[in-house]
Amino acid sequence: MEVTITTENFETLKNGDLPLVVDFWATWCGPCRMIGPIIAELAKEYDGRIVVGKCDVEENDDIAMDFGIRNIPTILFFKNGEVVDKMVGAAAKAKIQEKFEALL
């Protein structure tokens, strides 16, 4: 299940027991809409092992600015509260899933 990332819950999720994957997106972004269903599928597949969140850069620009997000979609992969990987742009499910596997 996907979680909506906000300024209020980000730090708690980032520093939680499970790895965190954050999809930075916007409603007007075509490539974001392309990978959205892939992220949703992976969120279900990895439920209980990885927390998957979506962060709307329009509503939470402070988080995006903190991590220097300039292009979307950008996916950040967190482990133990630290960014361990990053993916910019749309990609195939297999490529994104490789990154999920690397977090475990």
Q: Is 55 a catalytic residue?
A: no
> Active site residue: 5, 20, 21, 29, which one?
29
Across-strand partners of 46?
none
Count of CB atoms situated within 10 Å of the CB of 18? 16
- Alpha-carbon distances of 96 from 12, 41, 61, 102, rounded to whole Å: 24, 11, 24, 10
Q: Is 32 a catalytic residue?
A: yes
> Active site residue: 20, 21, 22, 32, which one?
32
SS3 53: strand
Catalytically active residues are: 29, 32
